[in-house]
Amino acid sequence: MMLRPFISLAIIGAVFLAGGLFFFTARNEFSQKTTSAPSKAASTPSPLVTEPTFSLPPEEDIYFGQGYNGQYTLTDVQTGETQAFLPEGYTIENQYSYSQFPTFLILSKNNDLFSYNLQNKTLKSVKTDPSVQFLRSDEDVHLYPSITEKDKFFIHIHTHDPPAIDESGMGLPPVLSSRSYFFDATQHALAQAPVLSDIDTMCAEYDSKNSRFFTWPCGEGIGTSLPLIAVSIDIGKHIEVISLEEFGLTKDDVGAVGVHRSNGLFFATDKGGTPKVVVLNPDKEVSVKDTYIVSEQVRPQIDYPYSVGISPEARTIIIGGSNNLLLMRFDENNNIFESKSLSDPEVYANFIFTYKGRMYYQGKDQLRVINLATWEVERSFSGNRGGEVTLFSL
């Protein structure tokens, strides 16, 4: 079972997010092979014109990977050249769930799961007893790559009530039974894990470093929503880490503030034209949370937020609307004071990935590289080759 159903829910009810980018470090020289750039909407007026606050480092050799129906390709973002990727016959389990630069992937084939080492290209079955069938034909897998440790995974296996699946349409059907495992890909260690009912009914991300999940409401009618809750795996303790009250709302206002995740960070944005953006970094046991205040000048430019990203180096927050990307500059006090809109058809269903001052994303029929120091398009490549995965470096 993959994350994409949640995306479909959110697009119908109040679109959540989808897609992703898949990047790999390699050795290729840059060749100019761009196509048409997105049109530029007017920037918000500003009493000053900000100059780039830093110089971009030389761009690493990066690949943009996509997968559809078990076929995976990599596109060199400097040349536009593509090549096949992954062993034939294997699919990436929950391909939309990976943060940037993983070291392992979990692949599936014939009701079995395999860890795939991206450094040495080796495959190993996840199960420790070769004589045991790990998955039954009536079971679904939801894989949670850790957002804090690249080689840790939470494997959640469950069965659903088939009639409920048919009746629910895009909803979350009841779970009849489930079992869970911790998996350490480096040590190739599989261990039984507690079953957490929260992840059967909520959107969730796994934080192995601090032995917890982050959960938030999602589904048809609300898209995604606060509160964002940290749930201890060991003792089941629940702590609200971003609340509706922080946006001046009550617990009855579920659906008013969306939750997005990108590259291991969580974002909370008001769906009605947010006065602020809250960004939470879960790496520490006590999560670090920053609040960015949107000026009245910029606020009218914000469309319904389908996806969110940030580049601290470029002091830029990106909000993906239905047909545009809004770039917003913040100062040293986290005040957002100017913006620029890039019009691009049907970008709402795509992840935003940022790395070292650049943004990479897939438009309707273009792959694009944006310089976030200058807010200009560096490169565009034609072609839409399927669903995105995430950002990789080898």
Distance CA 219, CA 15 (A): 9
Closest CA to 116 of 105, 125, 127: 105
- Give me the pLDDT at residue 316, please: 97
Give pLDDT tens digits for 269-310.
988 766 899 999 998 888 899 999 999 999 998 878 888 999
- Give me the pLDDT at residue 74, please: 80
Mean of the pLDDT values across residues 72-79?
82
Question: What integer best gives the mean pLDDT of the chain?
Answer: 81
Comparing 17-26, 68-77, 250-259, the range with the smallest average pLDDT is: 17-26
Closest CA to 392 of 360, 349, 368, 366: 360
Mean of the pLDDT values across residues 105-115?
93
Output phi, psi for 238, to 5 deg.
Answer: -110, 130
Distance CA 65, CA 50 (A): 34
Distance CA 175, CA 381 (A): 43
Q: How confident is the model at residue 9 (pLDDT cuts 50, 70, 90)?
A: very low
Mean of the pLDDT values across residues 124-141?
84
Mean of the pLDDT values across residues 379-384?
81
CA 312 to chain centre: 17
State whether residue 186 is helix, strand or coil: coil
- Give me the pLDDT at residue 17, please: 34
Task: Answer whether residue 11 shows pLDDT above 50.
Answer: no
Give the architecture (CATH level 2) of 4-388. Answer: 7 Propeller (2.130)
Mean of the pLDDT values across residues 77-106?
88
- Give me the pLDDT at residue 35, please: 41
Preceding amide of 217 cis, omega within 30: no
Mean of the pLDDT values across residues 378-388?
79
Sheet holding 63-68, edge to edge: 82-84, 71-76, 63-68, 387-388
- Give me the pLDDT at residue 215, please: 97
Burial class of residue 201, CB neighbours in 10 A (0-12, 13-18, 19+): middle
Distance CA 85, CA 73 (A): 5
Distance CA 152, CA 148 (A): 8
Which residue is associated with the tokens 């617990």?
A: 251
pLDDT-above-90 percentage for the chain: 44
- Give me the pLDDT at residue 322, please: 84
Better pLDDT: 89 or 51: 89
State whether residue 82 is helix, strand or coil: strand
Comparing 23-27, 92-96, 134-138, 389-393, the range with the smallest average pLDDT is: 23-27
pTM comes to: 0.82
- Give me the pLDDT at residue 3, please: 42
Q: How confident is the model at residue 370 (pLDDT cuts 50, 70, 90)?
A: very high
The token pair at 73 is 């390709």
Please report the sign of the dihedral spanned by the C-alpha atoms of residue 83, residue 86, residue 89, residue 95: negative
Comparing 17-26, 33-42, 237-246, 337-346, the range with the smallest average pLDDT is: 17-26
pLDDT-above-70 percentage for the chain: 79
Exposure string for 346-381, b = 16+ CB within 10 A, e = fewer: ebbbbbbbbbebbbbbbbeebbbbbbbbebebbbbb
- Give me the pLDDT at residue 38, please: 56
Q: How confident is the model at residue 26 (pLDDT cuts 50, 70, 90)?
A: very low
- Give me the pLDDT at residue 384, please: 64
Pairing outcome for strands 376-382 and 366-371: antiparallel
Q: Are 209 and 225 in contact (CB under 8 A)?
A: no
Task: Answer whether residue 188 shows pLDDT above 50.
Answer: yes
Q: Are 263 and 354 in contact (CB under 8 A)?
A: yes
Q: Are 306 and 322 in contact (CB under 8 A)?
A: yes
Task: Answer whether residue 117 shows pLDDT above 80.
Answer: yes
Q: How confident is the model at residue 5 (pLDDT cuts 50, 70, 90)?
A: very low
Q: Could you tell me the CA-to-CA distances from 132 to 157, 192, 319 in Å, in that order?
A: 15, 15, 47
Comparing 12-26, 140-154, 277-291, the range with the smallest average pLDDT is: 12-26
Residues 6+ apart with CB under 8 A from 65: 21, 22, 23, 24, 72, 73, 74, 75, 85, 388, 389, 390, 392
The token pair at 43 is 């920037």
